[in-house]
Structure 1
Amino acid sequence: MFLKVSPTYRPKEGLSARLLAIDHLRGLIMILMALDHTRDYFSNAHFNPLDLDQTTTGLFLTRWITHFCAPLFILLSGISTELSLSRNGKRNAQARLLFIRGALLIVLELFWVRILGWDFGLDPNTISVGVIWAIGWSMITLSGLMFLPRVWILLFSLTLILGHNALDTMSPDRFGSMAWLWQILHTGGHIPLWGQQTFHPYYPLIPWLGVMSLGYVLGPLFHRSALMRQRTLISLGALLTVAFVTLRWSHGYGEAHVWLAEGSILRQALGFLDCSKYPPSLQYLLMTIGPGLLLLALLERCLVQRQPILATFGEVPLIFYLLHLPLIHGLAVLWDLAIYGTAVWQFNWPINTDHIKPPSDHGIALPGVYLVTSFVIALLYPVCRGYAQLKQKRAHALLRYL
């Protein structure tokens, strides 16, 4: 539907097809992210959906398609940073804005996202941080990198993306008292804090720093002619996709999860797509960024009409993210109360002090997950639309960070 051609449509002043494409792709990413998180809270599949010994094709693909969210969102964040800099031309101000926004994201991850989103309480054992944490540190890093020549930033980006898997043999133990830093940067895992408390970074930073800086380097492409930009995006996207297929098929560099050509053709195909996300392997990044660039080119070439839902979510992605987790989690609480008369397992300390787990029959089938996701999108759309309109009408400094 959102590729419908309308010969009478003209973008409003200052709004070009390139920015429409970015907003729409970002909006699609947010919807896929909501689908993944709805599955987390509502699915009756109490196992890893990528486990080929237990999963179904629908469940596998529902989880796999959401692999595109983090790489593409972080890449688009880098592109948007360069576009913003090109508009105002004030590098110092842009770097300061990026640094503050990155720091704000880290704070939001630690408090809002974790306590009010995922946990509905405090986890007495683990402080976990995810994608918002990684985006925050990527912004802080880029706020310094943007003062360097662009070719240096490109070298930095490619070194991290292409080279980080070469570091896989270096365990945190090799760094002694600095093992925690290597876990944050590369391996992930639980970092001891005090007593039984640990810190768990789900998104080790090295590859994500490379992805955002790569987006920044790609930014000038969006100042070129539409034809040149689309051809470049298609060529680059095809190159990355072919590189993924070649490396994956040949069991080459950049992926610890070996693909085995055994079982049915369907099982082999699904196994081929099952690449490591935590941390993201080179093959995982090629698999997601390559088709993502192709889709971005397709959107710009075919999209001639602003589609309200995708565009709105893409214009205010942070507000969407901050609201969708409490909303989905809250709906899960209401559902469990209606079905079981209690939802204590949906909370953490101080409500669920005994670590009560959900019953074995907890959750709904996959079609129901999609239905709940649609309901979540319907609830979030008017709120995000109102906030987007507020940002357009008011130039309050605080709104720039949200």
Structure 2
Amino acid sequence: MVIMALDHTRDYFHIDAMTGDPLNPDTTTGILFFTRWITHFCAPTFVFLSGLSAYLSAQKKTSAQASKFLLKRGLWLVVVEIVIITFGLTFNPLYNFIILQVIWAIGCSMILLAFFSRISYKLVLIIGILLVFGHNIFNLFPAPKDETAGSIIKILFTAFGTVIPIGNNHFIGVFYAILPWTGIMFLGYAAGKWFTNDYDPITRHKNLKNYGALALIIFVALRLLSVYGDPVPRKEYHDLFKNILSFFNVSKYPPSLEYTSLTLGFALTFLVIAESIKNKVFKVFSVYGSVPFFYYTIHFYLLHSILILLFFLEGNTTKQIIQIPFLFRPVKFGYDLWIVYCIWLVVVISLYYPCKWFKKYKATHKNWWLNYI
């Protein structure tokens, strides 16, 4: 949650965020590459743990109850993405540009999980493996010539900034293809069995270590071969530093097999370490992790409010407010990277006590709607 906010802060406040690619070895710097790359670990870990949480939550319900809850929560998240998150991102009350990102992908994946988990745990696992390992096959074939079929393939499998016009002045931007993320959630659901109370902790740690190591081996093997597993093969340079950057520059949109293997490989390994961490720093970070949806939602509103303040302090006028997709965010607006880091820290620190309050509120109240936040 904390690292995730860094990338969104960069989007709003870095001078080159709208014009440059921080992951391009030809133009980036080491610190800029790292600033963007480190946030790669957020979305897949978040989606994987969402699936894991869904499994644990289902243990307290009947199969029908668990399925019904996942369906309702999934539909709710799709609505939240369209109405609440899109407005927080854009501050555009006319919703000229609706942005579909990770909450949309999680919501759609939960809807699918509601159906398949009702049928069989093994079916969820098999579908998860097939989606994670097989979705990159669509990169090997040309897109369908039919516009409708092409849009469906993009939305389900290959979306990367797919913009769908709705009338003359409204657009939907699909930035998270559904099914590759569904595969990650399904694998998280399958791993949930390791975290039940009656599961042997030693076996759990062994599983996490072994599968984490296997995922990293798969990443290295696929990256070296550069035949399958990522729509953009690694590039060779006559420069060691650029070659290192290129090796780790894997595709997030959609999450390629190489990207998923790299990020979840480290995430599974870290889950072993995290179980034994019991200190004050861990307790601070756990506050954000205890209320991820609450934190995720309000951090956009705080970032955009700061953006408006700096927008006017920089001497911009009301004539420059309207920008697509983000209002108050001109293309040539922004600051050096160190200022971005300062704003990020201010935002994270500012949200600590609101998150701590809401964590306590959830623990002391049993309102039904708290299950959806």
| AA matched with 2:220 | V
Which residue is equivalent to 1:40?
11
Which residue is equivalent to 2:334?
363
> SS in structure 2 opposite 1:191?
strand
Judged with a 3 Å threshold, the aligned counterparts in structure 2 of structure 1 residues 381 and 178 are, in CA distance, closer, same or farther, namely same
Shift of 1:149: 2.2
- Show CA shifts across 1:146-191 (max 9, x none): 1122222111111111110112244553555443322210122223
Shift of 1:199: 2.4
Counterpart CA distance in 1 for 2:295 and 2:15 is: 25
Does the alignment pair 1:295 with 2:266?
no
Conserved 8 A contact 1:118-1:326: yes
Judged with a 3 Å threshold, the aligned counterparts in structure 2 of structure 1 residues 285 and 344 are, in CA distance, closer, same or farther, namely farther
Shift of 1:368: 1.4
Aligned equivalent of 2:300, options 304, 325, 337: 325
Does the alignment pair 1:61 with 2:29?
no
Conserved 8 A contact 1:38-1:369: yes
Does the alignment pair 1:97 with 2:72?
no
Aligned equivalent of 1:200, options 167, 170, 173: 173
Counterpart CA distance in 1 for 2:44 and 2:359 is: 24
Aligned equivalent of 2:236, options 258, 261, 264: 261
Aligned equivalent of 1:152, options 115, 123, 145: 123
Aligned equivalent of 2:186, options 213, 216, 219: 213
Which residue is equivalent to 1:71?
44
How is 1:264-343 mapped onto 2 (pairs within 5 angstroms)? 264-303=239-278, 307-342=282-317
Judged with a 3 Å threshold, the aligned counterparts in structure 2 of structure 1 residues 391 and 164 are, in CA distance, closer, same or farther, namely same
Counterpart CA distance in 2 for 1:380 and 1:107 is: 24
Aligned equivalent of 1:162, options 133, 138, 143: 133
| AA matched with 1:106 | V
Aligned equivalent of 2:110, options 124, 139, 150: 139
Judged with a 3 Å threshold, the aligned counterparts in structure 2 of structure 1 residues 317 and 162 are, in CA distance, closer, same or farther, namely same
Conserved 8 A contact 2:109-2:179: no
Shift of 1:387: 0.8
Conserved 8 A contact 2:132-2:184: yes
Q: Which runs of 5+ in 2 are unaligned?
A: none
Judged with a 3 Å threshold, the aligned counterparts in structure 2 of structure 1 residues 344 and 375 are, in CA distance, closer, same or farther, namely farther
Shift of 1:124: 6.8
Conserved 8 A contact 1:172-1:187: no
- Matched length: 367
Shift of 1:247: 0.8
Judged with a 3 Å threshold, the aligned counterparts in structure 2 of structure 1 residues 118 and 321 are, in CA distance, closer, same or farther, namely same
Counterpart CA distance in 2 for 1:381 and 1:89 is: 32
Judged with a 3 Å threshold, the aligned counterparts in structure 2 of structure 1 residues 351 and 32 are, in CA distance, closer, same or farther, namely closer
Shift of 1:383: 0.7
Q: TM-score, normalised by structure 1?
A: 0.85
| AA matched with 2:138 | L
Counterpart CA distance in 2 for 1:128 and 1:349 is: 11
Aligned equivalent of 2:80, options 71, 90, 108: 108
Counterpart CA distance in 1 for 2:138 and 2:214 is: 24
Judged with a 3 Å threshold, the aligned counterparts in structure 2 of structure 1 residues 309 and 330 are, in CA distance, closer, same or farther, namely same
| AA matched with 1:337 | F
Conserved 8 A contact 2:320-2:330: yes
Say which structure, 1 or 2, has more relative contact order (CA 8 Å, 6+ apart).
Answer: 1
Shift of 1:348: 5.0
Judged with a 3 Å threshold, the aligned counterparts in structure 2 of structure 1 residues 120 and 269 are, in CA distance, closer, same or farther, namely same
Counterpart CA distance in 1 for 2:326 and 2:290 is: 36
Counterpart CA distance in 1 for 2:140 and 2:232 is: 14
RMSD (Å), alpha carbons: 2.3
> SS in structure 2 opposite 1:198?
strand
Which residue is equivalent to 1:20?
none
